[in-house]
Amino acid sequence: MRRLPVTDPGTPDSRSATRYLLWLIRRSRLTVAAAALLAITWMWCQALVPAAVGWAVDAAVARDTGELIGWALFLFGLGVVQAFTGILRHRFAVTNWLGAAFRTVQVIVRQANRLGSTLPRRLDTGEVVAIGTSDITHIGGAVDITSRGVGALIAVVTVTALLLHTSMPLGLVVLIGVPLMMLIVGVLIPPLHRRQRVYRELQGRLTGRAADLVGGLRVLRGVGGEATMSARYRVESRALGAAGVRTARVESLLEAAQTLLPGVFLVLVTWLGARFAADGRISVGQLVAFYAYAAFLVAPLRQLTEAIDKMTRGHVSARRVVAMLRERGDLPDPPQPARLPVGELADTASGVRITPGLLTAIAATAPGDAARIADRLGRYAEGATLDGVPLSAAALSEVRARILVADNEAQLFTGRLRSDLDPDGRGALPQALAAACATDIVAALPDGAETVMPDRGRSFSGGQQQRLRLARALIADPDVLILVEPTNAVDAYTEARIAGRLKAARAGRTTVICTSSPLLLSHADLVCFVEHGRAVAVGSHTGMLRDQPGYARLVLREEKP
């Protein structure tokens, strides 16, 4: 068995939901084929049991002890093979289910990373959450049922062939009855499909609403909007409940059909077999076999109807996944990405130039100008170059690997703190915490860095969150680190310590700090002063204080004369 999840999920086929499900099956073709082969053998053994029982009964009626022992041993062998293949079939089925679910999560997370800041504008939070919770279950079930459905189909074909060989009328009953039952069940699938789609849309919307409520609860209480939002949530929740009831009505009819129709079929085959035995057209052993066949057929027929149901659910969920995979970010990759060189990072719009290996500070009279420059330097907007090569000419993944922008919009994640700060296990956590003056924060936790943090670290103060985010950025150790106001939420004493340690922690690495704090500016190798969106001066902090009145007013918080 392979380890899950796999390292590389591959490139999904997002042309349609059907193609996506087929892609998942192809990616797990070995285990799917093994599960199908085992399911065929498992069901085939079950299909042969009634015939073997009938032959054994006929041997007992004829008082042929040798033949009876032979059929008894044959039955024992079928049982052994059935038990062995059944265990392995289930193991492979679980592997296929988990493989499809994990692979879907991987491609969705990768797509979310590609979309980046575009994601919240294109998809609701609830939509993405629902894909990672309910949809992966249905997609995994669709891949799993593929092998079991094949085994059930082979079992029905085997029983039909045996019945046709023994009694043409009974064989025709099976041959005609099975497609008829599938047709009746198929009538329920389209309305179920439609209602599941509506329910799924409402579920994603309500999940997003719940996330918004939890995230903005303090603000809502502050402005008195809690009652209004709660009432709106109740209305949407009732709508979701009503949609669930409508979906459940069709599902209940489908479940009833899956139980009733095979039962009716069992009664019909048994009745016909008894009539034929009474007329002497079949033997007693064949009658026993026919009854066993009819009883046995309930399982594969139910699996076939279950396969239709699960494939429908999987198709609905796959449509959601495909819709997300088709989304394109605001900054798509070029057809033929170029390799980024090592050199000077420059913003053509403002004229800001970043010398490699130095700590450069950008002080802008308007904070928005500094944020826009940081966006361009990190390729969250177009307009920056690296050694003359536009960042837009390279693959976005390479830009993200080389250049990291850390601002105050970044979030901590729920879970173990060590995994959040050092997800790749680089092992530089103590040094990064020391540089960010965050060692005391972690030391105060019950289990240190192994503490599981709830609610995305909201129990930390704003300054504590800022220091932890800074430590995470330092651990990443990119070629170019761009920090946007990394200390505006901490006290002056802590800010001074961070300013001194940050330069040492990034020695020899290109670092950019967008700030107007004199404590940080005084430790910069170069300071770039930006006024009205353009770089007007570059130099040392002390020299700029002496020669640039606008810079001095900004840094010293002086009023204009």
pLDDT for 146 equals 83
Selected from 3.40.50.2000, 1.20.1300.10, 3.40.50.300, 1.20.1560.10, the CATH number assigned to the domain covering 17-325 reads 1.20.1560.10
- Tell whether the model's pLDDT for residue 507 goes beyond 80: yes
- Tell whether the model's pLDDT for residue 559 goes beyond 50: no
pLDDT for 155 equals 78
Residue with tokens 């499900």: 21
Higher pLDDT, 561 or 549: 549
Nearest to 525 by CA among 546, 549, 509: 509
Give residue 162's pLDDT band: very low, low, confident or very high (50, 70, 90): confident
The rounded percent of the chain whose pLDDT value lies above 90 is: 27
CA distance 350 to 530: 8
Element of type H or E holding 217: helix 217-223
- Tell whether the model's pLDDT for residue 441 goes beyond 60: yes
- Tell whether the model's pLDDT for residue 546 goes beyond 80: yes
**What burial class does residue 216 get, using C-beta atoms within 10 Å of its C-beta: 0-12 exposed, 13-18 middle, 19+ buried?**
middle
The structural domains of the chain, with segments of one domain joined by +, span 17-325, 345-555
Higher pLDDT, 290 or 408: 408
pLDDT for 360 equals 96
Element of type H or E holding 122: helix 119-122
Dihedral over Cα of 417, 422, 424, 426: its sign = negative
pLDDT for 215 equals 60
pLDDT for 221 equals 56
At 214-249, the pLDDT tens digits run 665 555 555 555 677 677 778 888 888 888 888 888
pLDDT for 388 equals 92
Retrieve residue 267's tokens: 């009664």
pLDDT for 352 equals 95
Tell me which architecture the domain covering 345-555 has in CATH: 3-Layer(aba) Sandwich (3.40)
At 447-473, the pLDDT tens digits run 888 998 877 777 888 899 999 999 999
CA distance 239 to 236: 5
**Beta-carbon contacts of residue 281 (< 8 Å; ≥ 6 apart):** 167
The rounded percent of the chain whose pLDDT value lies above 70 is: 90
pLDDT for 560 equals 46
The CA-atom distances, in angstroms, between 390 and each of 117, 167, 335, 436 are 20, 78, 14, 32
- Tell whether the model's pLDDT for residue 255 goes beyond 90: no
Choice among 85-99, 164-178, 504-518 with the minimum mean pLDDT: 164-178
At 515-524, the pLDDT tens digits run 999 999 999 9
At 289-329, the pLDDT tens digits run 766 776 677 777 777 777 877 888 888 889 889 988 888 77
pLDDT for 51 equals 73
pLDDT for 372 equals 93
Arithmetic mean of pLDDT, 523-546: 94
Choice among 159-173, 418-432, 497-511 with the minimum mean pLDDT: 159-173
- Tell whether the model's pLDDT for residue 287 goes beyond 90: no
pLDDT for 276 equals 77
pTM recorded for the entire structure: 0.65
Chain center to CA of 552: 50
**Beta-carbon contacts of residue 402 (< 8 Å; ≥ 6 apart):** 340, 386, 478, 479, 480
- The mean predicted confidence, pLDDT, of the chain is 83
Arithmetic mean of pLDDT, 140-163: 81
At 87-97, the pLDDT tens digits run 998 888 889 88
φ/ψ of residue 510, rounded to 5: -75, 120
Residue type, 243: A
Give residue 440's pLDDT band: very low, low, confident or very high (50, 70, 90): very high
Element of type H or E holding 61: helix 29-61
pLDDT for 561 equals 43
CA distance 187 to 456: 47
- Tell whether the model's pLDDT for residue 429 goes beyond 70: yes
Please spell the DSSP secondary structure of 285-340, one letter per residue.
HHHHHHHHHHHHHHHHHHHHHHHHHHHHHHHHHHHHHHHHHT---SSPPPSSPBPP
pLDDT for 404 equals 94
pLDDT for 226 equals 63
The CA-atom distances, in angstroms, between 107 and each of 18, 137, 312 are 16, 15, 21
Arithmetic mean of pLDDT, 332-361: 92
Give residue 213's pLDDT band: very low, low, confident or very high (50, 70, 90): low
